[in-house]
Amino acid sequence: MQDDPTGRLSELAQGIHKAMRSWTEAVGSEVERALGPTLSLLDELSLALRERVASILADIGHSLERLPEPMRDGLRTLAQNGWYMDPELSFQAVSELAALFEAGRSSEGHKGLVDWYDSRSPGIESELCAEFPTRTGFLRKAFEAHRRQEFALAIPVFLIQADGMCKERTGRQLYSRREDIGMEKWVSKWDLLDSFPLAEALVKALLTPVGEKMPISAGDRERARLAKDTLNRHAVLHGESLDYDTPLNSCRAISWLVYVAWVLREATRRPDI
């Protein structure tokens, strides 16, 4: 339980009252009359402070309650353009990047994210190898291939390892649309009925790219409508795409990999998931 300074202030005032009453009984009522207004003021200050703090916390709570929806929208926009959130990116950065894509300034959005993930890739590699030590050999080779610009080798491994990490954390298949083995039903378990509804809502918002249909996991009919440069797991791993090996797609795959590892780690902290 967090410390409550206003509660301690009230207790302090009551303690002073009690101690001073005992003392003034021995030395005379004049002292008590002199100190009485000050002690009353202390009690009033405590009450006013508690009410003010409660008002401030209520305002913060209302603001946070509105946060999941814009967060979900921003993550959805990035995912529809092939990008996923790195926990090192601030929510403000995600919103600004999403706004670029929504405004038709996709080239700026892509450039900003390629620069980000290129610079972050050594740190991401270290973090993932520490978190998934049994996958270290595959991860290191994939990141080395990315740095050598051998994207045709790096991208499939990134996509495969993301699937393996999901299976390891949830027992489900990352790219499957089937209700019994896919992620959509798993994500739907976040029903917001637990003790911390705001935390639940935020995590469920973060899970949007794995709980909804996105280009990376698009099926046959959906792929026909995708842009030519879209990164799609099936097209890459089943040999349908012969032009996926670009710096853009390699950074996209890194973003997918780090996002999956991070968001499923956060989600699986809930005991019943």
Same domain, 41 and 107: no
Same domain, 208 and 158: yes
Q: Round to whole Å and give the CA distance between 98 and 40.
A: 55
Q: Round to whole Å and give the CA distance between 160 and 157.
A: 5
Q: Is residue 272 part of a domain?
A: no
Q: Name which of 74, 83, 79 is nearest 251 in CA terms.
A: 83
Domain residues for the domain of 242 are 67-267
* Share of residues in the chain with pLDDT > 70 (%): 68
The model's confidence at residue 106, banded by pLDDT at 50, 70 and 90, is very high
Same domain, 224 and 116: yes
Q: Average the pLDDT over 57-66 and give the result.
A: 48
Same domain, 90 and 192: yes
User: Is the sign of the CA dihedral 86, 88, 91, 93 positive or negative?
Assistant: negative
The DSSP result for 17-57, as a single string, is HHHHHHHHHHH-HHHHHHHHHHHHHHHHHHHHHHHHHHHHH
Q: Average the pLDDT over 58-76 and give the result.
A: 65
Same domain, 109 and 230: yes
Residue 162: the pLDDT is 95
Same domain, 42 and 75: no
Same domain, 105 and 183: yes
Q: Average the pLDDT over 87-110 and give the result.
A: 93
Q: Is residue 273 part of a domain?
A: no
153-187 tens-digit pLDDT? 999 999 999 999 999 988 888 888 777 787 877 77
Q: What is the pTM of this model?
A: 0.72
75-87 tens-digit pLDDT? 999 999 999 999 8
